[in-house]
Amino acid sequence: MSGQRAQRVAEEIKKEVSQILREELKDPRIAAFVSITGVQITRDLRNAKIFISVFGNEDEQQLTLQALTKAVGFIRTEIGRRIRLRHTPGISIHLDHSIAYGAHISHLLRGLNKNGGEKPIE
């Protein structure tokens, strides 16, 4: 099985799950600003890890993760209907902290830039 096919399937899953979150799921525990940051799928297309980013505090993130974990069966069924695959992959949902980490690093770098007004070494 080609790695390129796995990438194409992962992108299609990302697109469909985003649409499912926007239009199908009506759980009040799911925060308003949830985005799918990535999908990793095994080469045999049996398992998929969906990474989400939630804009909000830690409690909102955990509530959203719990609601989506409970809705995994529904999401998997919808993916099976929308994408024609021999086997619908098993799904696990994980929080992605990379955006918050990147913002933190950016903030630290801006702080260094303000405090360390020394001339850079050439």
Supply the angle between the helices 3-23 and 72-82 in degrees, to the nearest 10. 120
pLDDT of residue 117: 54
pLDDT of residue 91: 95
Domain assignment of residue 120, yes or no? no
Question: Could you tell me the strand order of the sheet in which 90-95 lies?
Answer: 34-41, 47-54, 90-95
Domain assignment of residue 121, yes or no? no
Domain assignment of residue 9, yes or no? yes
Query: What CATH number is attached to the domain comprising 107?
Result: 3.30.300.20
Structure tokens at 101: 């980490």
pLDDT of residue 103: 81
pLDDT of residue 55: 86
pLDDT of residue 111: 82
Domain interval for residue 7: 3-115
- Measured in residues, the chain has a length of 122
Domain assignment of residue 45, yes or no? yes
Domain assignment of residue 76, yes or no? yes
pLDDT digits (tens, 9 = 90+) for 87-112: 999 999 999 888 778 888 888 888 88
pLDDT of residue 29: 86
pTM of this structure? 0.80
User: Number of folded domains in the chain?
Assistant: 1
Residue (of 34, 38, 37) closest to 24 by Cα position: 34
Q: Are 65 and 93 in contact (CB under 8 A)?
A: yes
Give me the residues of the chain with pLDDT under 70, please.
1-2, 115-122
